Structure 1
């Protein structure tokens, strides 16, 4: 039924999806209150400090720029006016044992040349075919799945339409097996199989549709002046300018349901505050939702379906040996063993693949500060998401850090020790930051052909409750989370449209809210 603009929508969580939902709703004239458990917004776009220097300690890659352009445009702004973005000429640098190196470039021709030099013309031709097929998978799924409300297998088939397109997305093959049709060189299969980890999964168990990530990166990987945290800060500032109210440091402990209406009625916070709310957007992991609704506790999906966690080290160091790019990957010798350890045995891999983000370097690896002094180095190894039942002790953390350094050294890099202690985040720490997850950073793992349909859509389990974030459709990652926030906001707007609203000045070219009103109709 229609609601007044005085009836606030409550958004739980100021992560990417919560910020996107709040901006979309406020742009349409809804009054929005965002409740965030932590002292600042951003969610997984978190920051830590080491030696007086700020680190991006969460996502380090921005892709699918069009998603953020649309988000700013909804509020009458231009992304490029709000943030300074630089396209990455080198998507990532990759090293194997002994220092064998391959750069993947934004320019596909350059990547083909690099692959030919690295592994031969036959492998370069395999890359050409892989790039074409990944593009087709992306084009088939962009409108029918990624940027659309959650489908089921039947509705997705109907949206796709042509049988040839349905076959082209390779729904029943694993990513690893599909890559064997393009590359004989195991190193190239490792490189492109790594895209499964972007959604916290094993390439040996996840569907080949994830090859679309290759085309997402080919369309553009961007660096932001000020880092990913600058994006979170700018989105929060935009939301405030639209009238969104943020309440920090007071975690939501319950989503109350009116038994007579069987619908959301309020939220309760740790401090004892009760906020009436007939419409709530929950931007948290769905694993924690039963507890908030008073139904159950823990992860109902079970640990076996959790996505990857990680050990993340942020430290000041001086690299020696092979040159770094902004994004650099150091591959293990036993890729399958790495994922078997994590997903089959629930153990840290003895020989992990290590991802480094050299945060003071541009895409090609040039230092912003001229090369004097230590650099900000972010290092990540994949881990099982069992942080709610196992806390890594000091010796276990030390073993993980040593295994990371050993892999770096075998691939040609050493990092000098710095007197300032690093900031280390482990699965148990992630479990504390993101309740209900056990430290899983991507919701459930995308394993099996039905994985794409396992994530819930924006409609919550009770009327008035809507879901957003990396654990719901369309999946994890900054652009996907932003899409989920938009989908949740638009589902809410369709269910409870405003009859009349005040249009924000940012959209009306400076008219006051009293001067401009308009009807709101649900977005398509």
Structure 2
């Protein structure tokens, strides 16, 4: 039994990784009286919530949207000064501006009645009524899954077995149906189905295989709204670091953990790349679960289970310093590829998850262009362009993005696709930076650059991510590759769960 499991008071805690999950866990544990050290291999904190600065531009290289702000409000209130005193959170309307393959446009928003009106105006044919029925089902799915599957610890298949006795809720989440199947059951317009299917990518998944329960993802975004942090989302990482500092957490950047050590009773500490050793009663790994169980501490059974899962998709990102201003450009724009509907979305997922994976020749383009003078020089815009991509590697669902010239050629293609869809930047681009899945893997130890660790492809995959409590006493996992999954609010919820499992001093 580890010291912490034996309830012996203040613990020496080492957090491996200073991403959002690691920093939030560290602050909660330190506020609870534990002595906490965070070790981060990079020179800055933030993990996938990265930042690139160049020539007066500031680019968020990871998430560009905050959803479920109540999760962050809970964290800041429970650890010190409230959210509104430390971050400048602004609601977005539209949350995103969608342009479909036939040129139809839709602007999403958090007002359900207004959004239904916009759907009717865009699509007609009773699409708003169809959406209302789908929305009601998505709300029931949210109510059925939030507490047991998002806000609580998950004990593998046994949790699902217990849940299966609640037949009414089981029928609501329809475990045998895919997100695509659920959308088709309610929505007649193929464009509206494509809108719903996009949310599977929020978990790095294929909507044709992801469970119907992921209808909770669009529900959460549209129920609680999309938000931007003035100055960029990187300010969240800065605020988390400040909260750690307030609670006397020791944060060591440029410090790589190469091994988590344990004996028969549980974890004993971590070994660092410089050969030194940090003793610990508790280790919290804010790192990709596959890397933890295969490289940092060998847990063969856990590593085997992860190898049997489908890794999540990754992404290719262009960061563009752009001259001039673009009239009418929303904070977020989604440009679906041209083509006949339904089915035009299938080619994208066939390339990303295919055998072998391939770069998508005509992908959906996700643009984030903040209207924020703090992220670009006067008269300029900072463009973040994201496309879904197969992870780094070889074989099924993978591409070797290190192939000489591939990244540059693909970036050229994406700039051409932008022009074809109404945003010709050929004379406006001051510079561009390219980020591939290979870059993400190198920077964060995310295996293959898979953004969310494992995908939710499969009936139960979304509910069977690696648990927050590991098989090794005293070792806990936090972050997007562990329960409850990826995305800023879920990662922050995982920190709350881990801190609850460890408990106060």
TM over 0.5: yes
Matched residue, 1:414: 424
Matched position secondary structure for 1:39:
coil
* SS of residue in 2 equivalent to 1:180: helix
Out of 1, 24, 44, which is 2:48 matched to? 44
SS at 1:105 equivalent: coil
Partner of 1:59: 63
How many pairs does the alignment contain? 487
Q: Give the 3 Å change call, closer, same or farther, for CA 104–433 of structure 1 in structure 2.
A: same
CA distance in 2: counterparts of 1:315 and 1:167, whole angstroms: 46
Please point out which of 284, 294, 299 is paired with 2:287: 284
Matched residues in 1 for 2:115 and 2:73: separation?
27
Q: In the alignment, what sits opposite 1:467?
A: 477
Cα shift at 1:160: 8.0
Counterpart of 2:3?
none
Alignment of 1:274-353 (within 5 A): 274-289=277-292, 290-294=294-298, 301-302=306-307, 305-318=310-323, 323-332=328-337, 333=339, 334-345=344-355, 346-353=357-364
Displacement after TM superposition at 1:269 (Å): 0.9
Aligned to 2:216: 212
Q: How many Å apart are 1:134 and its aligned residue?
A: 1.0
Structure 1 residues 461, 392: CA separation in 2 closer, same or farther (over 3 Å shift)? Answer: same
**Structure 2 gap ranges (5+):** 1-5
Contact 2:322 2:431 in 1 (8 A): no
Measured against aligned partners, the alpha-carbon deviations of 1:78-110 in whole angstroms (never above 9, x if no partner) come to 111221111122111001246431111121122
Q: Does structure 1 residue 196 correspond to structure 2 residue 200?
A: yes
Work out the CA distance in 1 between the residues paired with 2:211 and 2:91.
29
- Selected match of 2:371 from 331, 343, 360: 360
The answer on 1:102 being equivalent to 2:106 is yes
The answer (yes or no) to whether the contact 1:359–1:378 under 8 Å persists in 2 is: no
Matches within 5 A, 1:10-159: 10-97=14-101, 99-152=103-156, 155-156=159-160, 158=162
Residues 337 and 254 of structure 1: CA distance in aligned 2, closer, same or farther (over 3 Å): same
Distance 1:162 1:431 in 2: 40
**C-alpha distance in structure 1 between counterparts of 2:348 and 2:326, whole Å:** 25
C-alpha change, 1:229 and 1:477, in structure 2 (3 Å) is same
Aligned to 1:413, what secondary structure does the other structure show? coil
How far residue 461 of structure 1 moved from its aligned partner, in angstroms, is 2.5
CA deviations on 1:111-150 (whole Å, 9 max, x unpaired) are 1111111110411111111111111111111112110111
What is the alpha-carbon distance in structure 1 between the residues aligned to residue 19 and residue 374 of structure 2? 29
- Indicate whether 1:230 and 2:240 are aligned: no
Whether 1:375 and 2:381 are equivalent positions in the alignment is: yes
| Cα separation, 1, equivalents of 2:375 and 2:257 | 42
5 Å matches for 1:361-440?
373-387=379-393, 390-418=400-428, 420-435=430-445, 437-440=447-450
Of 183, 186, 195, the residue aligned with 2:187 is 183
Q: Matched residues in 2 for 1:419 and 1:115: separation?
A: 34
Deviation for aligned residue 1:322: 8.0
Deviation per residue, 1:197-253 (Å, 9 max, x gap): 001011111011111111111222111111111111011101110111100101101
Q: 1:154 to 1:36 in 2, by over 3 A?
A: closer
When the two chains are superposed, the root-mean-square deviation of aligned CA atoms in Å is 2.5
Question: Using the alignment, how far apart are the partners of 2:168 and 2:323 within structure 1?
Answer: 52
* Preserved contact between residue 50 and residue 423 of structure 1 (Cα < 8 Å): no
CA contact (8 A) 2:80 2:243 kept: no
> 2:308 & 2:411 partners in 1: Cα distance?
24
Q: CA 1:22–1:372 in 2, change beyond 3 Å: closer, same or farther?
A: closer
Given the alignment of the two structures, is residue 453 of structure 1 paired with residue 463 of structure 2, yes or no? Answer: yes
Q: Which moved more, 1:121-130 or 1:410-419?
A: 410-419
Instruction: For structure 1, list consecutive stretches of 5 or more residues without a partner in the other structure.
Output: 362-366, 499-524
Q: Aligned equivalents of 2:119 and 2:138: distance in 1?
A: 17
Residue 46 (structure 1) shift: 0.4
Q: What's the TM-score once normalised by structure 1's chain length?
A: 0.87
* Deviation readout 1:381-435 (Å, 9 max, x if unpaired): 1111124882334532233223323433333222244464212110111111122
For 1:249-288, list aligned pairs within 5 A.
249-258=254-263, 261-288=264-291
> What's the secondary structure of 2:371's corresponding residue?
coil
Q: Distance in 2 between matches of 1:370 and 1:312?
A: 18
CA 1:122–1:106: 2 relative to 1, 3 Å: same
| Offset, 1:76 | 3.3
SS of residue paired to 2:261: strand
Residues 209, 268 of structure 1: alpha-carbon distance in 2 compared, 3 angstrom cutoff? same
**Partners in 2 of 1:83 and 1:161 — Cα distance?**
43
- Runs of 4+ residues deviating >4 angstroms: 151-154, 156-162, 318-322, 367-372
**Structure 1 residues 505-520: aligned runs within 5 Å:** none
Corresponding residue SS for 1:438: helix
Distance 1:370 1:275, change over 3 A: closer
Q: State the SS of the aligned residue for 2:199.
A: helix
CA offset at residue 19 of structure 1? 1.1
